[in-house]
Structure 1
Amino acid sequence: MPLINVIPGDKIPTAPFNVRLPVCRVPGWLLALWWLLRGLTRLTVLAVRYWWLTAPTVAAAWIRVRYGWPTLGAVVLVLTAVGVAWWRLHPSSWWRFGCYPLVGRWRRLWVYRRRWSSVMATCGLAMAFAGERYVPQLLAVRCDRFGDRVTVRMLPGQIPDDWGQAAERLAYAFRLRDGRAASAGRPDRVVLHFNRRDPLAATVAPLPVPEVPDLTGLALGVQEDGQLYQLRLAGSHVLIAGATNSGKGSVIWSLLRSLAGGIRSGLVEVWAFDPKGGMELAAGVPLFARFAYDDPDSMAGVLEEAVKRMRQRAARLRGVTRQHVPTADEPLLVLVVDELAALTAYITDRKVRDRIRESLGLLLSQGRAVGVHVIAALQDPRKDVLPFRDLFPTRIGLRMTEPEQADMVLGDGARDRGAVCDRIPETAPGVGYVVLDGRREPVRVRFSYLTDDDIRHLGREHRRLTPDTDESEVTR
């Protein structure tokens, strides 16, 4: 038998196969019955899914057929009167249980579901596998007066950070202001927060001063959903970062205003540090037990006194309790530093700078359990300026000049999760994002604004009722 020489790479010719698929003839009436059953099933599913539309329609049609138009008109008038009376007598429950649920269902149908598949595809959140396209499932839409909360079941392999990176594109695709993503408490779900209008556009007036400050929830301003924002100071230190005129003073004075009742009664003792020569904090001198400014060496000495006091308190509480409870004899010690970088990076005297860094490091690492808390503000969040920023469990990012600074202050990935500090307008001082230790999602807040007259009035009304308030004893 002769051998056939085949050159490597050449294709061997093959004869085509004649494949004939079997044909099954289906009667026309059976095919029509199949399509009819399929359509009825789909209509039933849609009627059940959109019961809030179908149920009133069926009820109105039944009343019309059974009792006629006059009865149907009377029923509509009665329901309208009940709704108006509910709205007038108790508007908060009307909006919460009557209006917003209907608005949410309508927006789910008309705004989101109508364009859901196309938006998921264009934003890169839909996937294809084995010839099939998979789209995340829209579960629920809840509305309030400011925006929408959209709950979505993610596809396998997706995480909330994937949705956080696409949240801005999703907001623009649905013709909304802005958006961010947050975990929903279940590993397969994510909640998208979209704003229709900004609840933080207006300046927040000074909040009432409580008689006894609640250290687990100090009222400081208004958050994105329009509710009062409360910050937990107990067991925490607070870092405030932002550019010039971003509203750092609003955060500091809002905190001091919430603590003013405790300052007056002696449960809270504030030591203030103002490296700018006292320009920022001098208006609140009556509130301070110690006020250090202008001289770096004296400020280093006051910080060393705070460390000494912290160690003495720790020695007294050792074996007695693991968490300090403020009393008039053992008050909560709050150290307020207006421009931290001036103490940790800009001092030319290396020995003084090292003393300050050492004291701050000890206070931040050991002070929380014994009731010594640091509230620090700065403009430059670089690591060489603030080497121990990771010791602040509570971080507040106000308006910043560069996108990377949000991650420097609030943690890696904070900007992708919605903390766009570089996009806060200059016309909105006091607006910022708060990140708490153990919680990934930032909270958008506008802190209350106190004028100079408000601060002076606060100092007169809530000055310390002890001999320590004599201004002759102010540390210079």
Structure 2
Amino acid sequence: MPLINVIPGEKIPVAPMNVRLPAWRMPGWLLVFWWLARGLVRLTVVAVRYWWLTGPAVAALWVHARYGWLVLAAVVLVVIAACVGWWRWHPASWLRFGWYPMVARCRRLWVYRRGWASTMATCGLATAFAGDRYVPQLLKVRCDRYVDEVTVRMLPGQLPDDWAGAAQRLAYAFRLRDGQARSAKRPDRVILRFLRRDPLAATVASLPVPDLPDFAALLLGVREDGRTYRLRLAGTHVLVAGATNSGKGSVLWSLIASLAGGVRSGLVELWVFDPKGGMELAAGLPLFARFSYEDPDGMAGVLEEAVKRMRLRAARLRGVARQHTPSPDDPLIVLVVDELAALTAYISDRKVKERIKDALSLLLSQGRAVGVHVVAALQDPRKEVLPFRDLFPTRIGLRLTEPEQCDLVLGDGARDRGALCDQIPESAAGVGYVALDGVRDPVRVRFSYLTDADIRDLGRTYRRLCDSDQQPEVSA
């Protein structure tokens, strides 16, 4: 006789389920009344939601019914004349409060709202539960000259990183150029930024040079939203990584030009290293306090001298101040290295290589508070080439050759958050993404381009006045 497995415990009796549904009979007039009431409520909601369309339409119909076509045409002409006058009198306020809000409402209705549910489903951002489908809520659309900014309420369980991974697909779904997802102030919301026109398509000419540089906001280029980009040099070191002809020179010369006023007044000393023989940076020789090229041993000596200056300054400031303040007697020292890998990886002399690595490690770890900053550029961002990459709080990624290099330069997950350095075209030299420690989202920037004539002009105009008769110290 076969054994029957019995689950131990008490058996709970189950009553049979009645699956028959009750039938309700409703008179036809009540059903029609219900349909009319529901339609009226929906029509009212739509009219209130799109008041910017229904309001003018109702007003136009009322004016036409009360006064006729001539009065309606006169009112329309007066409104158009008022808008034109506002635009001519104060274009900035007209664009901000008149034109762009109107464009945003139209784009919300015709571009985003029309296919919102289907786009969320195909991009994997909608979900289903218990037979019901749930779609993220479109809250607000803001527009400016270049960008659409779409605020969305996320579904429970979603993160901004989920939207960052789908931002490119969303941009193509809405037939736009580029898309990024950024965190909002409220934790249940995310901000999508879609690029309609690229303000970085054209080369950025050389920018005005201030008489006294603001070390917290150095003007270097143009952001992806059309505004000027300002780099904070105070309290940071800067790493620039990019492939050949990606525009590393544009970044370095933009930074040097923004500091040129400080060089002339004695607030800044530029110590420049050009291991490629001096071809790239020698044109700015009148601006430099130190200029070293070719000889690795000489460059190691200059770096060790910078370490000595740093330690002497730290001893002088100990117990007096926590942050260095530049002055003509105690200037800010900025070390500019054109090809850092030539100092850290490509030198055959092991002792010189270790001297350079030791000096750079000390400068990067201790120099910020005492006013000694390192700005370095390189092509190969691998760890074995630059072992102290994480000591650069500000990192700039120009055009790179591989997708993995984006995260190597800008930090883990930077590419998923929109830093597509590997997709920057070769024709867009000087375009890159800037990532700051403590700031989640990278910023796309095009740095200004200085011609050879601009650089020569810069050297003649802003050469060091405090010792104009003294030549900079040059080590070959």
Change (3 A) 1:94 1:267: same
Aligned to 1:68: 68
Aligned to 2:449: 449
Return the TM-score normalized by structure 1.
0.95
**Which amino acid in 2 is paired with 1:67?**
Y
Change (3 A) 1:21 1:6: farther
Change (3 A) 1:118 1:363: same
Percentage identity across paired residues of the two chains:
75
- Superposed displacement of residue 147, structure 1: 2.3
**Which amino acid in 1 is paired with 2:339?**
E
| Counterpart-to-counterpart distance in 2, 1:55 and 1:173 | 31
Aligned to 1:258: 258
1:208 aligns with 2:208: yes
- Superposed displacement of residue 66, structure 1: 2.1
Aligned to 1:238: 238
Aligned to 2:13: none
Aligned to 2:20: 20
Contact 1:433 1:443 in 2 (8 A): yes
- Superposed displacement of residue 7, structure 1: 8.8
- Superposed displacement of residue 382, structure 1: 0.2
- Superposed displacement of residue 72, structure 1: 1.2
Contact 1:463 1:469 in 2 (8 A): no
| Counterpart-to-counterpart distance in 2, 1:237 and 1:28 | 78
Aligned to 2:467: 467
1:325-344 per-position Cα deviation (integer Å, ceiling 9, x unaligned): 10011100000000000000
Corresponding pairs, count: 467
1:112 aligns with 2:112: yes
Aligned to 1:373: 373
Aligned to 2:249: 249
Contact 2:291 2:473 in 1 (8 A): no
Contact 2:288 2:472 in 1 (8 A): no
**Which amino acid in 2 is paired with 1:331?**
P
1:357-408 per-position Cα deviation (integer Å, ceiling 9, x unaligned): 0110110011000101000000000001011111111100000100110100
1:107-152 per-position Cα deviation (integer Å, ceiling 9, x unaligned): 1000100000000000000011111111000011111121211111
| Counterpart-to-counterpart distance in 2, 1:64 and 1:279 | 75
Change (3 A) 1:275 1:17: closer
| Counterpart-to-counterpart distance in 2, 1:235 and 1:399 | 26
SS at match of 2:114: helix
Mapping of 1:57-456 within 5 angstroms? 57-456=57-456
- Superposed displacement of residue 98, structure 1: 1.1
Aligned to 1:48: 48
| Counterpart-to-counterpart distance in 2, 1:236 and 1:303 | 18
| Counterpart-to-counterpart distance in 2, 1:466 and 1:346 | 37
| Counterpart-to-counterpart distance in 2, 1:49 and 1:467 | 69
**Which amino acid in 2 is paired with 1:401?**
T
- Superposed displacement of residue 197, structure 1: 1.6
1:50-84 per-position Cα deviation (integer Å, ceiling 9, x unaligned): 11001111111121222222221111111111111
Gaps of 5+ in 2: 6-15
Aligned to 2:12: none
Change (3 A) 1:20 1:132: closer
| Counterpart-to-counterpart distance in 1, 2:346 and 2:356 | 12
| Counterpart-to-counterpart distance in 1, 2:299 and 2:377 | 16
Change (3 A) 1:357 1:18: closer
**Which amino acid in 1 is paired with 2:452?**
D
SS at match of 1:467: coil
| Counterpart-to-counterpart distance in 2, 1:101 and 1:18 | 57
**Which amino acid in 1 is paired with 2:175?**
R
Aligned to 1:11: none
Aligned to 2:31: 31
Contact 1:363 1:372 in 2 (8 A): yes
**Which amino acid in 2 is paired with 1:245?**
N
Pairwise CA RMSD: 1.7
- Superposed displacement of residue 198, structure 1: 1.0
| Counterpart-to-counterpart distance in 2, 1:458 and 1:153 | 50
1:189-228 per-position Cα deviation (integer Å, ceiling 9, x unaligned): 1111111121101000100000100011000000001111
Contact 2:125 2:135 in 1 (8 A): yes
Contact 2:434 2:445 in 1 (8 A): yes
1:138-174 per-position Cα deviation (integer Å, ceiling 9, x unaligned): 0111111212111111111111111111001001101
- Superposed displacement of residue 291, structure 1: 0.4
Change (3 A) 1:17 1:101: closer
| Counterpart-to-counterpart distance in 1, 2:19 and 2:326 | 88
Contact 1:289 1:468 in 2 (8 A): no
| Counterpart-to-counterpart distance in 2, 1:87 and 1:320 | 55
SS at match of 2:475: coil
| Counterpart-to-counterpart distance in 2, 1:290 and 1:136 | 58
**Which amino acid in 2 is paired with 1:113?**
R
Contact 1:289 1:469 in 2 (8 A): no
Contact 2:290 2:472 in 1 (8 A): no
**Which amino acid in 2 is paired with 1:63?**
V
Contact 2:271 2:336 in 1 (8 A): yes
SS at match of 2:199: coil
Change (3 A) 1:57 1:358: same
Change (3 A) 1:410 1:18: closer
SS at match of 2:214: coil
- Superposed displacement of residue 468, structure 1: 7.3
| Counterpart-to-counterpart distance in 2, 1:19 and 1:89 | 72
| Counterpart-to-counterpart distance in 1, 2:151 and 2:157 | 17
Change (3 A) 1:284 1:6: same
Contact 1:288 1:469 in 2 (8 A): no
| Counterpart-to-counterpart distance in 1, 2:334 and 2:289 | 10
| Counterpart-to-counterpart distance in 2, 1:333 and 1:143 | 42
**Which amino acid in 2 is paired with 1:365?**
S
Contact 1:287 1:469 in 2 (8 A): no
| Counterpart-to-counterpart distance in 2, 1:472 and 1:57 | 73
| Counterpart-to-counterpart distance in 2, 1:416 and 1:469 | 52
| Counterpart-to-counterpart distance in 2, 1:68 and 1:102 | 27
Change (3 A) 1:32 1:312: same
Gaps of 5+ in 1: 9-15
Contact 2:141 2:151 in 1 (8 A): yes
| Counterpart-to-counterpart distance in 1, 2:82 and 2:182 | 38
Change (3 A) 1:6 1:315: closer
